[in-house]
Amino acid sequence: MTPDYFLLLLTGLPYTFAVTGGALLIGALFGFPLLLVRRSKVTILRWTAVMLIAVIRSIPPIVWIFLIFFSIGTGVFPISPLSAALVGFGLIATANMAEIYRGALIAVHHGQTEAAQALNLSPFHTMWDVILPQMVRVCLPVAATYAIGLLKDAAIASTIGVPDLTYQGRHITQMTLQGLSVMGSVGIIYVLISLPIAWIARVTEAHIRKTVSL
């Protein structure tokens, strides 16, 4: 693979980061309200959230983004491949982040709520001052691990024409017929990107053991 081709490959990186980061951000934002609904006292709301999360997670990402890109995109609102990917992966990330938040909430819950109540803290302050700060820390390593998963799922955006790393890899493969080295490089680049994220996961995990009462 010539340097020219390698540079072409790298032009895919911003798109890979955009899809991954954008979806993660969407998930981190909307995952929280979904968690609240998931833990609502109203049974019907709670079950709606449970089913919604299960359904979102049960449909393969490629089907999701086809559904969004082709059916909406060819219909009333034309939608760019990048937006379609962001909506699709954002949706999936929302469901997954809600579950990650829930896991963290359960992990922290134990004696902490009771202790806060015994100290006569209001429900808001119990959440805001006691539970949330610990939740965030518990979440971090799990969310970092999830980010790596999302990074790799985001490669699927290439199938609807988002010119990301994988897309460029296949494009160059078609031009050079050197799939082994080209797709090999693509794979290695993904591994290299995920290494620092994995490192963050490990470091934060070691850190929370000390600062959170699990």
Provide the minimum distance between the beta carbon of 181 and another protein in the complex, in angstroms, as a whole number: 8
Asked whether position 71 contacts another protein by CB under 8 A, the answer is yes
- Cβ proximity to another protein: between 132 and 200 the closer is 200
60 makes contact with another protein (CB under 8 A): yes
- 3-class DSSP string for the chain: CCHHHHHHHHCCHHHHHHHHHHHHHHHHHHHHHHHHHHCCCCHHHHHHHHHHHHHHHHCCHHHHHHHHHHHHHCCCCCCCHHHHHHHHHHHHHHHHHHHHHHHHHHHHHHHHHHHHHHCCCCHHHHHHHHHHHHHHHHHHHHHHHHHHHHHHHHHHHHHHCCCCHHHHHHHHHHHHCCHHHHHHHHHHHHHHHHHHHHHHHHHHHHHHHHHCCC
How near is the Cβ of 17 to another protein at its closest, in Å? Answer: 14
Which residue stretch of 22-30, 68-76, 122-130, 135-143 sits at the interface with another protein (rule: CB under 8 A)? 68-76
From candidates 26, 35, 138, 148, binder to another protein by CB under 8 A: 148
What residues line the site for another protein (CB under 8 A)? 51, 54-55, 57-64, 66-67, 70-72, 74-75, 148, 151-153, 155-156, 158-159, 166, 169-170, 173, 177-184, 186-188, 190-191, 194-195
